[in-house]
Structure 1
């Protein structure tokens, strides 16, 4: 039997914006090869939870711990696909350089990217279906193409955990099918956290579900019922 170690452990987390409480007493453990779907109403705290995990926001109280091979560590490698609306499409950068930027933490400060790193980018361009668009500025991309470029950036470093915030936005149905096939492949080796307003998508693809609405309620997908969704999502 394969042992699945924890990667991230949140214990009794409370968070606020401008002194307004957003999350209260949040407990969540993310293990290796987990696929957790996070749902909840707008303003319920989903994005705040993601920012806490990424270290972009610090909790008022509680603890966030990271682990590697069962031992506590100071950080994990994370790939992050932000919400589409947070991207500045006027920024002068090509598709190739967007994906290449996902390797910045692996590059020596005063050295160029290696041949092997450039090969990773070319392989990722193919994987997300953007061959031939390498030099196109992101301002000239469709919404779906930009999402694919950002997904490539999140994946190219081979992160221990992949966090996706509303990845379906602007992606056409054909690539959406490819996206979730790709996520199934990734999940064989890496943990995934998927934030989505689309409950059906989460139910189809995630292993476990967390409903965030000021507090957090967590269940394995196989135990989720219509009554549970109604009670926790619509309250």
Structure 2
């Protein structure tokens, strides 16, 4: 999947800061994180034998100091031309607890890719007292429909949405518009057994076309998989 322009900006910010490092062995990794306002925060690690904080930890603290907005994406890069670096296990756990819907840049054989942090730490322990703010992502083309209340449902695959308050984030939106909303209900159905009524399709919409659009969005989706129908409202 191609990266959004906003993803590339976060990766570039981390790599540009990492390129300035190298003279001081106590600071060897840079991290950049974008919040829901579109602000990119940058910071470096503090290497120390007692377990000085990773760059991802420092940038989370910096972002919290400068803004109350939750983080939507993160990238880290090493000095000396080491390039993009995946987060360590401790950073993954902290991000999952504090920013559970953050996307994290990782290097792959096909170049940088963005991964949901929960995919980097499956079957993990959850810290129930983290009091994290949840994000629900939409394509930017749906902003008007969500904002005016004509779109009140969305269908998701392999996305652990649960009822409760969310910040609605519109991906790759140059204006970085967000809306405050509430997920009121989530129902799961097997794709090949799902009806038009369960999918909340408008009159005249075709289930075959609906299934095809879902498969285009989620290439790994099979007929036997369950999808979640998420009902939401603005608050």
Provide the TM-score with structure 1 as the length reference: 0.31
Q: Which has the higher contact order (CA 8 A, sep 6+)?
A: 1
Larger radius of gyration: 2
